[in-house]
Amino acid sequence: MKNVKRTVLMVISLLALFLFLTGCGNSNAASKKTLTFWYAGDGDTAVKPIIKKFTKETGISVKIQSIPWSQYNDKLLTAASSKNGPDVLLMGTTQMANFVSSKSLLDISKYVKNDKALNPNNFFSGSENTTKFSGKYYAVPWYVETRVLYYRKDILKSVGYDHAPRTWSELYEVASKLSKRGKNMYGFNVDGSEPTFGFMFARQNGAQLVKNGKTQFNSSEMVSSLEYLNKFIQNGVSPKQDQKLTIAQSFGGKAPIPMFISGPWMLSTIKEEAGLKDSQWAVAELPKGKANNMSVTGGGNIAVFQYSKNKTNAVKLLKFLSKRENQLTYYKNSNSMPTLKSAWTDSSLKSEKIQVFRKQLNNSEAMPALKQWEEIGQNYLKVWEPIALKNNNIKEAMDKFNKETQQLIDK
Amino acid sequence: MHSSFLKKIVPYTFVFPALLLLAIFSLIPIVIALLISFTGLDITGLGDWSQIKFIGFSNYLQLFQDSAFLQSIMNTVVYVLVGVPLVIVISLTIAILINSGRNGFFKMMRLVFYTPSITNTVAIAVVWTYLYNPSLGLFNTLLAKVGVGPIGWLTDPNVAKFSLIILAVWKAVGLNMLIFLAALQGVPRSLYEAAELDGANYWEQTRHITLPSLKFSIFFVTVTTLIGWFQFFDEPFIMTKGGPLNSTNSVALFVYQNGFQNSNFGYAAAGSFVMFVAIIVATLIQFKLQEKQRGE
């Protein structure tokens, strides 16, 4: 009797163990026709309607998995190392170099070259450049973003300016006047948490960041552009550190920070949260430096996962997403701007503020496509911080940064 | 014969799942991390294992020349040295105070002190970021009312570390208080009654009865708190990203930044191993001390 009991117990515990183990190895028994699509951000409102149409037309069902941007890179790393992931995935333009280098993305050059719908000339060159690595294509541009100047029209008027600053010297002049409105009032935000901010100004000043694999971060153009930015901070024209203000606190009301540079996502944030009338604020193309007013192109691309078992259907989805009407639907659902040039003739993109972005896109380039770029950007922020806080010598700091970055790239 | 074999095997079937979990999710990853720490594994190697180069100890050598890493060690030492004693003293004091009464008020206080522990760290950190806000935060607003100038809670390199400690202590007190309370309720009343008959006052009772009876729970709380503070991560990750001027960066956050942001997996694995060894050593010292006390 005792033995029977014991045997039963053992069988049960082994059974439990077996169930536990099989539970782990997620058996991929779902129909082969289903594509998995990893989407950073809110895929449900933004792309689901487009996907539904795709399924209706082709009979291929797609499962969207939305992952917050903050966790997206971790998730991609896991997929890259386990070689087990989705069929189709959204890639931030700055992540491309990394995941091309880890061989996680399928080389789609033959589709791009043979298919009109995926022709690179259809897209903004700034976006297209983020999909191309040593002559091969690894993704299709999906949406584009670029940085422009946001400013408070009414407040600029109160200090005597009826237009946004058009040059660097004008930017400083206006900002300086604005900062004299009172205590804790500033004119412009020199962004100390955005890795591309200093590099963007350096390019406007004629600096090249990396030339033929040689870093140029201590060039006189780079140093003098950082000196220009530091002038804002040391003279109290820009806050030294992130003030941790909401947009309503920094840009609404009396606007302690009435001018700042940001991307298209701020349009809806200001509209919804700042409590301003549409006539009180505007956007403008970036002020021109010594060389140009070049902005930073960012955005997202759509790629096929190298280890997908469903590549033909995955490419079909890429093509479908690149259609004009779908790019426009995406814009309406998400406010992310289409990279397809032909989409910009649509009336939904006619508004004055959006057109500023359109013009800025003519003068906008992505950051260098190096797999170490993320680290370089983070290192730059660490170099910038003591400059802003302690007024450290810029030339010395950039000499050291340049040397270290060169070592990093050569490694 | 058959039944004796069964007898022997049955206990193992019960511990086997736990051992298996431990092996899959702890032991094997630790060994893999150790191996990775001797390679220059980066994003390229991740996708193509033939690209991984074995580089011996150079990650470790580089670590100890990296000023950011050395600073994060110093920061972590401060976190541990300030945070751990604070947590133990405060949670023990609160537990003894709460244990002194049985009515509704004491029950409510127990809830009040425990609530932070069951709230998500991320949620807490976001709310405290608002409290610490330099110009609009509650703390600086209240300070301004009594005429004290604004404090850069999270923006002043000398203050930020302690702002994070305050938050982490506040959050950690609840759980440890509960452990102490449970232990306190296990102390036999007869000991106190005997001491009272002998004329011992409240302070003497606490010192000679309460504290010695709690020896094991104090040890337990010390070890778990110590390990927790060595891995201090959530608060700087959400609130300061290690800044300003790297003053709040912890070793755990340094490892995360190098591994998951910069994709220097080999380097990050080496950093995590330094932390791993430090935790083991600290725990072993604790165990030795405990044994010594028991031997007396």
* Per-10-residue mean pLDDT, chain B, length 296: 78 91 93 94 85 91 93 95 96 92 88 91 89 87 88 90 94 93 90 89 89 90 92 92 91 94 93 93 88 73
Is omega for the bond preceding A338 within 30 degrees of 0, making it cis? no
Q: Which of A16, A20, A98 lies closest to B263 in CB terms?
A: A98
What are the domain boundaries of chain B?
66-295
Is B10 close to A103, i.e. CB distance below 8 A? no
Is A96:A138 a contact under the CB 8 Å cutoff? yes
Q: Who has greater pLDDT, B286 or A151?
A: A151
**One domain, residues A249 and A159:** yes
Is B17 close to A386, i.e. CB distance below 8 A? no
Is B142:B60 a contact under the CB 8 Å cutoff? no
The pLDDT of residue A30 is 43
Is A81 close to B46, i.e. CB distance below 8 A? yes
From the list A375, A373, A331, the residue with the least C-alpha distance to A354 is: A331
Contact of B14 with chain A, judged by CB distance below 8 Å, is answered with yes
Residue A19's pLDDT band (cuts 50, 70, 90) = low
Contacts of B136 in chain A (CB under 8 A): 245, 249
Residue A10 belongs to some domain of the structure: no
Mean of pLDDT values over A24-53: 76
The pLDDT of residue A31 is 46
**One domain, residues A158 and A206:** yes
**One domain, residues A401 and A361:** no
Q: Evaluate if pTM is beyond 0.90.
A: no
**How many domains does chain A fold into?**
2
| pLDDT at A123 > cutoff 60 | yes
Q: Who has greater pLDDT, A34 or B4?
A: A34
Q: Which range of residues forms the domain containing residue A111?
A: 35-146+297-365
What is the percent of chain A with per-residue pLDDT over 70, rounded to a whole number?
Answer: 92
**One domain, residues A310 and A348:** yes
CATH class of B66-295: mainly alpha
| pLDDT at A65 > cutoff 80 | yes
Q: Which of A13, A243, A382 lies closest to B13 in CB terms?
A: A13
Q: Which of A3, A13, A241 lies closest to B3 in CB terms?
A: A3
pLDDT digits (tens, 9 = 90+) for A49-61: 999 999 999 999 9
**One domain, residues A212 and A226:** yes
The pLDDT of residue A11 is 59
The pLDDT of residue A245 is 83
Is A382 close to B257, i.e. CB distance below 8 A? no
Is A63:A37 a contact under the CB 8 Å cutoff? yes
Q: Reduce the DSSP state of residue B201 to 3 states and report it.
A: coil
Q: Which of A3, A16, A371 lies closest to B43 in CB terms?
A: A371
Residue A311 belongs to some domain of the structure: yes
Measured in angstroms, the CA of A244 and the nearest CA of chain B are apart by: 7
**One domain, residues A133 and A81:** yes
**One domain, residues A283 and A176:** yes
Q: Who has greater pLDDT, A14 or A322?
A: A322
**One domain, residues A342 and A209:** no
Mean of pLDDT values over A123-145: 93
Is A74 close to B134, i.e. CB distance below 8 A? no
The pLDDT of residue A28 is 45
Residue A353's pLDDT band (cuts 50, 70, 90) = very high
pLDDT digits (tens, 9 = 90+) for A366-408: 999 898 998 999 999 999 999 999 999 999 999 999 999 999 9
The pLDDT of residue A346 is 92
Instruction: List the 51-70 stretch of B: residues with Cβ below 8 A of A.
Output: 68
pLDDT digits (tens, 9 = 90+) for A156-209: 999 999 999 999 999 999 999 999 999 889 999 999 989 999 999 999 999 999
The pLDDT of residue A6 is 61
The pLDDT of residue A3 is 58
Interface probe, candidates B163, B246, B253, B263, chain A, greatest A C-beta count within 10 A? B263
Report the CATH number at residue A277. 3.40.190.10
Residue A32's pLDDT band (cuts 50, 70, 90) = low
**One domain, residues A214 and A278:** yes
Is B263 close to A103, i.e. CB distance below 8 A? no
Is A186:A242 a contact under the CB 8 Å cutoff? no
Residue A25 belongs to some domain of the structure: no
> How many beta-carbon pairs below 8 A join chains A and B?
90
**One domain, residues A327 and A395:** no
pLDDT digits (tens, 9 = 90+) for A272-318: 999 999 999 999 999 999 999 999 999 999 999 999 999 999 999 99
Residue A24's pLDDT band (cuts 50, 70, 90) = very low
**One domain, residues A277 and A406:** yes
Residue A9 belongs to some domain of the structure: no
**One domain, residues A96 and A211:** no
